[in-house]
Amino acid sequence: MDLSIKSARKEFDGFPALHDVSLDIRSGELIALLGPSGSGKTTLLRLIAGLERPTEGAVFFGEEDASSRSVQERNVGFVFQHYALFRHMTVADNIGFGLKVRPGSSRPPKEEIRRRASELLDLIQLSGLENRYPSQLSGGQRQRVALARALAIEPKVLLLDEPFGALDAQVRRELRRWLREIHDRTGHTTVFVTHDQEEALELADRVVVMSQGRIEQVGSADDVYDQPNSPFVYGFIGDSSVLPVQVENGQLWLQDRSIGITARNVADGAAKLYFRPHDIELLDGCGGCIAGTVAASRRVAGTRRVELEVGGARERVEIELPIEHTAGANGRIAFRPKRWKVFSEREQTASTPTTEDPRIGGFDERELMLATTL
């Protein structure tokens, strides 16, 4: 079932939660709505489910405008953040609930409901627990029951609100893999909400990055990580370091020193340079590079994270060094980002190393510059 949100806008008591959001979801896709709290991702999900009504705009299920349909008529499987299992019903009754409440003609007989529930229990690998109550299950088990309950009604789309939010890291990773398997097996169009980028990038076919009620970027994990289209996405997904710079004729300047980076298509004036802490090259001398003194150093798993104070304004940036690197406190380090992006302060134009082949092209160019400055 294709899903399409067309210019949806949602206000709560005059406060906008979503501004003019449009999104197309293909049948069978697994989509993540990713954003910090307050970005409107849950509101968007509830809009699709019919638990909220858009102030303006429409939601299409396939070719059909579903905006005026109630949540019951939309036939969506919704998994709630805190599961919302019915605490006075057994696991089997919880799963069978959606079938039991169907109107007389389409309601399957009791044995059929029972059989379907036990099938789903097999699917979620909880066979034998049909007579337990939700309070007798672990968090991960409850989550799976909630999913089985949503699948029982054979939904057109499956919507999950922070599905793994309340679980510990280990269970979360397991369930993530398991949800992917279920998705691949059942083929439901699935949308889930998360604030965990790792979860979104690992699980989803496409990630929808949201901020302040707007969609910032839609793309695969590679797209949003390697080609972030806004300062927000760059800062939100993965680690990033930011440095305020000046652009003059396509050259980046940190105060009176050239960084040795050429950024085309960026307006002159103040701008921000974004790069990944691990995507840098260390340099010996410094003409056309970023140099700073080590202000703090942390060991993070297999690498060392170093905070540098750069330039007269003592801007702090973070870079990653190999463990063997010997830079101690107050040592000087010179480096240049291998991949980077410049966002002008004045308008939202961005520049990456080169458009055709970012890595090689940009690299060569800077090699050349380095040679000339040396």
Residues that bind other proteins (CB under 8 A): 49, 51, 71-72, 75-78, 80, 82, 84-88, 97-98, 101-102, 149-150, 152-153
Residue 174 corresponds to which tokens in the numbers above?
A: 């397991």
In this structure, how many other beta carbons lie within 10 angstroms of the beta carbon of residue 102? Answer: 12
Burial 192-217 (b: 16+ CB within 10 A, else e): bbbbbbebbbebbebbbbbbebbbbb
Least distance CB 353 / other proteins (angstroms)? 47
Least distance CB 156 / other proteins (angstroms)? 12
Least distance CB 192 / other proteins (angstroms)? 15
In angstroms, the CA 268 to CA 245 distance is: 10
User: Given the complex with other proteins, which of 108 and 361 has the nearer CB atom?
Assistant: 108
Least distance CB 78 / other proteins (angstroms)? 4
User: Given the complex with other proteins, which of 75 and 293 has the nearer CB atom?
Assistant: 75
Phi-psi region at 205: left, alpha or beta (left = phi > 0; alpha = psi -120 to 50): alpha
User: Given the complex with other proteins, which of 13 and 324 has the nearer CB atom?
Assistant: 13
Least distance CB 86 / other proteins (angstroms)? 6
- CA distances 82 to 78, 92, 100, Å, are 12, 19, 23
In angstroms, the CA 59 to CA 53 distance is: 10
Nearest CA among 70, 60, 72, 77 for reference residue 26: 60
User: Given the complex with other proteins, which of 18 and 95 has the nearer CB atom?
Assistant: 95
User: Given the complex with other proteins, which of 85 and 200 has the nearer CB atom?
Assistant: 85
Residue 162 corresponds to which tokens in the numbers above?
A: 């922070």
In angstroms, the CA 51 to CA 48 distance is: 8
Least distance CB 39 / other proteins (angstroms)? 21
User: Given the complex with other proteins, which of 82 and 359 has the nearer CB atom?
Assistant: 82
